[in-house]
Structure 1
Amino acid sequence: MPSERLSVVVTRRLPDVVETRLKELFNVTLRDDDTPMSRAELVEAVQTCDVLVPTLADQIDAGLIGQAGERLKLIANYGAGFDHIDVNTARQRGILVSNTPGVVTDDTADMTMALLLAVTRRIPEGLAAVKSGDWGGWSPTAFLGGRIGGRRLGILGMGRIGQAVARRARVFGMQVHYHNRRRLRPEIEDGLEATYWESLDQMVARMDVISINCPHTPSTFHLMNARRLKLLKPTAVIVNTSRGEVIDENALTRMLAANEIAGAGLDVYQRGTDSAQKLRDLPNVVMLPHMGSATVEGRIEMGEKVIINIKTFADGHRPPDQVVPAML
């Protein structure tokens, strides 16, 4: 690598402390406002910089990577998910890709439990009644929800976040079940008091709550498709803090509207569909604007990981959080 400082382009506003450190270390171009870059701006960035720092709002696809200049050697993603980046095309062009795993594990698991409670205890309905002034006082039959203690929780994806959800769910007295690409080691499974299901269909049909905690990959796209959603009990609740593409959103919307599923807590949505608009009108759905990782601490730690990945690369070494083919 040349001795001069790397040219780095950041596509969105980041916490001040992160931006300040980037300016100290690199020749960095920061975003003046907090809007996504246009396609033309992204093309200009990849043609002129050594390192691009995108977020999940940026589509770093094959067409964009194909227009990259010779200088671009690292895409240091600000976030753990990398399904918005065509990693294979980047590798073919000799461009490394890194991410920021682990730093938002607890934040996302907390949000999963918050959504679970919000749906089962009808918290948004109660909040709306108080805020609107329509609440007439306590009633023994008003806003009746359900107790989560004793319920079966089926976790789809038992990585860092899935395991963090399992630990929290046990404290609430839930029975933890899971389906994963690979079964956990016995000592981890025993520590979580979790029951493994090799068949996702069999697990889904028996759970009271399904929590989606797997990444979006070609193999998980619409993993919860219409057929599988129909296996859910009518009293079941589904929570998704992972990626919207894992669920067939149109099928989910139809079933929620028909009360074939009791409720849903969603923090993520499928791109390119209009179902999110229809979901907003349903009383049994709690929707959040992708807040799972939205803590000050988590966002700063994400930035610190980005900086470490870039600095390690600048020093001639492999970024510690490089995305490798086994992760795809």
Structure 2
Amino acid sequence: MRATALALAADRGAVTAGVDADDAEAVERLCTKAGVRLHYRDWPYKREAEQAFRNREAGVLVATSTVAAGVNPPTGAVIVADTTIGLDRVEVSTVQQMFGRAGRIGAGEREGWAFLLADSGERAPWQARLAAGYTVRSWLGDHLPDHLLAEAVQERVSTVEEAERWWAGTLAAHQGHAGVEPLREAAAFLTTAGCLRAPVGEDRWETSPLGRLTSRFMVDVALAHELATAVREAPVPEDAFTAERSLRPCSAPASRCWNRRRSPTGPVRHCAASCARRTRSKSSHRRPTSPRGTSRNRYPATWPARSSTSSPTARVSSAVVPSTSLASPSTP
């Protein structure tokens, strides 16, 4: 980063001979005079650099991906100098985030240019990747009970009709989740878990104390249900120390309670009863191994996680140029 900034400063007429790139003060002083600033995580002058570039006091900002998102300085051109970060190939989404800094209308620009420096052998593959874009997928459908409970706790939904309108406006509802069946399954699970309840004779929901605490502390709904059931079934502890020791094995993440699945007595109750038995017998609860490449649902079988189809692909037109075509004394 510092060597690149010094090379750009030299290209702008600064005398950089004998300047040590490890001398932060000297690099900052010399580059500032040449209108070049640096911006990366550990750079002590990054705030000053961002402000100077925003005020157009600096013409070049040498930066990492720290300015790729959330920062909209007046940028006419963005040059991504490499296709890798360390040993890993940079993600297409990261490149497009960087490209998106160029030509921001709100920052006072009318047009912008974006370039990715790539070896000649990488040019065609990168052009194809950038043209194809990347898929944005909603994870809301995989954690729908948690989100529905949050909406209910904040009193944004209190009836089935309101919940259906909320669900219809989500990205997840448009990515392969047909109708309102996933929402009804989530509501049924929350009712079973004791987080939602419907007053007798009224067509609306209200949250229970368990539901409000679960949402407030951002606890997984399945875990909260398993923990509450285990506490109900466990023997009354003799003292506070015994109570704390009894709760420890039951408070593992829901994804670690593997025996809750495919239980003939009901997945959640079986797991809770097992936790209570485990507490009484002081036996260990070992996590079974699974074949490589396989995974397990984080929710019990009463709340099946659903897969969704891909969303429409965003497309971005950008320039990918061989690094040799932009070779100059200022190119690191």
Q: TM-score range by the shorter chain?
A: under 0.3
TM-score, length-scaled by structure 2: 0.24
Question: Larger % of strand: which?
Answer: 1
Give 1 or 2: higher helix fraction: 2
